[in-house]
Amino acid sequence: MSLMLRSLQANFAYRFGFTRLPYAPLLISLEPTNYCNLRCPMCPVGHRAHDPSIARGFMPRAVFDTLLPELARIRPVIAFHMGGESLMHPDFFQMGQELRTAGLRVRLDSNAMLISRDVARRLIEHPPVDEIYLDLDGDDAGSYERIRKRANFDRVVGNIRHLLSFRAERKQSLPRIIVKGIRYYRLGAKPGFPDSYKALFADAPPDEYRFAWADYWPGSHREDLSSASAEDGALYQVPPANSDPKACELLWSRLAIGWDGQALLCCLDLNRTALIADVVKSGIMGAWNSPAMMDARRAHISGRQTEMSLCANCQQIRRESPSLLRRFKLLNTGRNASQGGERQS
C-alpha cells in the first residue's frame, strides 16, 4: 500500500480513535545501536551512558535479517536513529544498502563527528541512505560544544563541509543532506537556523536547513536532565506549550525498534521504559497492534495519557502538531520543514 494511502488511513484512524490499525507504520525508527560517542546533557543516552540497568548493544545481523523481509513488504520510511550514533555500527552501510535495494526510503541522523573522508566517500559513492540529517547545534563554537559534549566544533564543520563539497564535485543529488540545529530556548529568542552557520557552507550548501528548540525527553528523568544541564552552565528551558493534553499522533504513525529487536512504545523512550514486544517473535505488525500498543492508544484517546509515566511530562501531547497529512508531505518529500518549534526527534 502506498505511503499516501497509509497517511490518509492514519489520519482517519487517529481522528476516529481506532486502536487496532489495519495499515503498517508510516515510519519506523530502527536503532543500529544505542551507544553514542557524545554525551549531550539534554539526552538521556549521554546522561545515563554508564547506567547498567539500560541494555546497550549493536543490532545483531540475525535480528536485521529477520526484520528485512517484512520491512520490504510493508515499506515504511526507515529512520536510522533513536538512542545512539548509527555510524558506530560496523554493518551500517550494508544494512542501509539492503534496505534501499528492497525499495525502502532510508534516513540517517548523525552528529557528524564520525564522517571521516573515507566515510564521506562511502556515503556519496554508494549511498546507504536517501537522506542524511546532520546536527549543528547552538549559535557558535562555545554553545555548540556545551550542547554536544565531547564533540569538536571545527571537526564537525569540516566533516560536513567535506561531505557537501564531495557530493557537489560528483554532481550527485543523493543523498539529500539536511543540516539541523538545536538551540536552548530563551524568552524572546528568535527561532531559526543561525545565518552565521549558513555562511560556513556557502560554497556547497546543503539541500535544507532545519531548526528546533531543545526539548525535554519524555519520562521521569526530566528533572535530572534539567539539573545536569544547569551544572554545565547551559540553563535548560523549553518553549511554553499548550497545556491541554491531546492524543499523541505518533502512536498512529510510528513504531520504534531497538537494537535488540525490542519494539518500544515510542522512539523518544531512550531509557527503554516501555518495551512492547519482541519483534523477532511477534513480527512488525504484531508489535504495531500488540496489546501494549493498543492500550496506549486507548489511554490517549480517552484522555488518560497523563496517567502513563512515559507520556505524562511529554511536550508532544501539549503542543499543536502538524496533521498526519502534513506529516506525510514531510515524510515523502523532506521539504517544507518548519522554521520553529519542531521536535528534535
Q: Is 29 exposed, middle or buried (0-12, 13-18, 19+ CB in 10 A)?
A: buried
Among 44, 83, 138, 218, binds ligand SF4 (CB under 6 A): 218
The answer to whether residue 266 forms part of the interface with ligand SF4 (CB under 6 A) is yes
The answer to whether residue 276 forms part of the interface with ligand SF4 (CB under 6 A) is no
Question: Which range of residues in 66-74, 118-126, 225-233, 310-318 is near ligand SF4 by CB under 6 A?
Answer: 310-318
The answer to whether residue 268 forms part of the interface with ligand SF4 (CB under 6 A) is yes
Cβ at position 344, least distance to ligand SF4 in Å: 12
Nearer to ligand SF4, 86 or 305 (CB): 305
Cβ at position 141, least distance to ligand SF4 in Å: 32
Give CA–CA dist 314/312, Å, rounded: 6
Cβ at position 309, least distance to ligand SF4 in Å: 10
Scanning the structure block, which residue is given the C-alpha cell 543490532?
59
Nearer to ligand SF4, 159 or 290 (CB): 290
The answer to whether residue 310 forms part of the interface with ligand SF4 (CB under 6 A) is yes
Yes or no: say if 176 and 127 are a contact pair by the CB < 8 Å rule.
no
Yes or no: say if 183 and 315 are a contact pair by the CB < 8 Å rule.
no
Question: Which range of residues in 40-48, 49-57, 197-205, 260-268 is near ligand SF4 by CB under 6 A?
Answer: 260-268
Angle, helix 117-125 to helix 153-169, in steps of 10 degrees:
40
The answer to whether residue 247 forms part of the interface with ligand SF4 (CB under 6 A) is no
Cβ at position 323, least distance to ligand SF4 in Å: 16
Count Cα neighbours of 288 within 13 Å in the Cβ-side half-sphere.
24
Sequence-distant (6+) residues with CB within 8 A of 30 are: 59, 67, 78, 79, 80, 82, 257
Among 30, 71, 163, 251, binds ligand SF4 (CB under 6 A): 251
Scanning the structure block, which residue is given the C-alpha cell 539534554?
42
The answer to whether residue 248 forms part of the interface with ligand SF4 (CB under 6 A) is yes
Collapse the DSSP code of 176 into the 3-class scheme (helix H, G, I; strand E, B; otherwise coil) and give the result.
strand
Nearer to ligand SF4, 214 or 310 (CB): 310
Nearer to ligand SF4, 28 or 266 (CB): 266
Phi-psi region of 153 (alpha: psi -120 to 50; beta: other; left: phi over 0): alpha
The answer to whether residue 10 forms part of the interface with ligand SF4 (CB under 6 A) is no
Cβ at position 268, least distance to ligand SF4 in Å: 5
Give CA–CA dist 160/111, Å, rounded: 10
Give CA–CA dist 102/108, Å, rounded: 17
Residues in contact with ligand SF4 by CB under 6 A are: 218, 248, 250-251, 265-266, 268, 310-311, 314, 316-317
